[in-house]
């Protein structure tokens, strides 16, 4: 049996009296894209923040290659973090830094690469993400929402991570850019074979590039399986969620 790359075992998390996650079990496998879907505010972001150690569970274990994170030494955790990248929902770009400085930051401060190597890798990623050369000196406040997302993606991918966590990477993008980002994630995943964990509402788009889907509802994982399996699911909450989005999309198509 294949050991999952990342595994949640009975993970619970509460903020005050608000129970966000309740005994969550979830497996994420190497080289696959796992998409976590669910209504807004059900704790999807809280869930993936546990993977990278931004949050610690109240109870239960988050394991990497079969080893619980809390058992790891500080140096091991640091090495492990180096394998991850995180694309934040709101991009989380540094507003006092230019686009170039933002993308270069993990290479300069994290990996501490020489200047020339940093420059080469930053411009390479910018080109791959259709960010013009004249954007490099702009500040995030001078960019459109879509452009900010691309800069955030460039920053996440510039370190060639093994695991990339995407928190709603296409929110606020127009349909063309949304498809471009989906294609890019899918294309990069094939090219670099990274493991992707994506939080997304883009049903049914996510079914085309995800190998696994997990749905969270009422602080619990109510479904975990392939896109084909979720389409066959009998659970009315899942049906309503998928159907609701599909209907929304149909309505939008009709309006067009």
Partner 1 sequence: MTAIIKNIGAKSIVLFEEMGRIAIFSIKGLFHMFSLPLQPSKIIHQINFIGAKSIFIICLTGGFTGMVLGLQGYYTLVKFGSEGMLGAAVALSLIRELGPVLTALMVIGRAGSAIAAEISIMRISEQIDALETMNISSIRFLMGPRFAAAIISFPLLTALFDVIGIFGGYLTGSVLLNIEESVYFHRMESSIVMRDINEGFIKSILFALVVITICCYQGYYTHLKREGHGAQGVRLATTSAVVLSSVLVLVVDYIITSFLLSKP
Q: Site residues (CB under 8 A) for partner 1? A: 49, 52-54, 78, 81-82, 84-86, 88-90, 92-95, 105-106, 109-110, 112, 159
Shortest separation between residue 122's beta carbon and partner 1, angstroms: 14
Taking Cα atoms as reference points, which of 130, 189, 140, 196 lies closest to residue 166? Answer: 196
Judged by CB, which is closer to partner 1: 4, or 106? 106
Judged by CB, which is closer to partner 1: 44, or 238? 44
Shortest separation between residue 96's beta carbon and partner 1, angstroms: 8
Both tokens of 178, joined, read: 């949304």
Cα separations (Å) of 21 from 7, 59, 94, 139? Answer: 15, 10, 30, 37
Ramachandran sector of residue 166 (left: φ over 0; alpha: ψ -120 to 50; beta: rest): beta
Judged by CB, which is closer to partner 1: 172, or 227? 172
Distance, in Å, from the CA atom of 227 to the CA atom of 41, rounded to the nearest integer, reads: 23
Shortest separation between residue 43's beta carbon and partner 1, angstroms: 16
Judged by CB, which is closer to partner 1: 75, or 232? 75
Does the CA dihedral 105-110-60-195 come out positive or negative? positive
Shortest separation between residue 86's beta carbon and partner 1, angstroms: 4
Shortest separation between residue 242's beta carbon and partner 1, angstroms: 29
Judged by CB, which is closer to partner 1: 86, or 241? 86
89, 163 contact by CB (below 8 A):
no
Judged by CB, which is closer to partner 1: 26, or 52? 52
Taking Cα atoms as reference points, which of 111, 140, 135 lies closest to residue 125? Answer: 135
CA atoms in the 13 A half-sphere facing the CB of 58: 14
């Amino acid at each position: 049996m294949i050991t999952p790359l990342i595994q949640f075992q009975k993970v619970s998390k509460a903020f005050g009296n608000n129970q966000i996650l309740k005994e969550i079990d979830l497996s994420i496998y190497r080289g696959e894209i796992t998409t976590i879907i669910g209504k807004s505010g059900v704790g999807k972001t809280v869930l993936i923040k546990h993977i990278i150690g931004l949050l610690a569970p109240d109870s239960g274990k988050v394991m990497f290659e079969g080893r619980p994170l809390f058992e790891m030494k500080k140096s091991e955790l640091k090495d492990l973090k180096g394998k991850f990248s995180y694309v934040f929902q709101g991009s989380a770009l540094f507003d006092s830094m230019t686009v170039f400085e933002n993308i270069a930051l993990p290479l300069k401060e994290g990996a501490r690469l020489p200047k020339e190597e940093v420059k080469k890798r930053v411009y390479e990623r910018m080109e791959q993400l259709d960010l013009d050369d004249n954007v490099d000196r702009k500040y995030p406040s001078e960019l459109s929402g879509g452009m900010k997302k691309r800069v955030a993606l460039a920053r996440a991918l510039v370190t060639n991570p093994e695991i990339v966590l995407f928190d709603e990477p296409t929110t606020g993008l127009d349909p063309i850019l949304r498809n471009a980002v989906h294609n890019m994630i899918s294309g990069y995943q094939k090219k670099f074979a990274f493991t992707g964990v994506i939080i997304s509402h883009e049903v049914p788009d996510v079914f085309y590039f995800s190998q696994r889907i997990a749905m969270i509802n009422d602080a619990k994982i109510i479904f975990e399986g392939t896109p084909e399996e979720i389409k066959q699911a009998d659970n009315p909450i899942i049906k309503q969620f998928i159907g609701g989005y599909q209907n929304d999309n149909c309505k939008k198509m009709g309006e067009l």
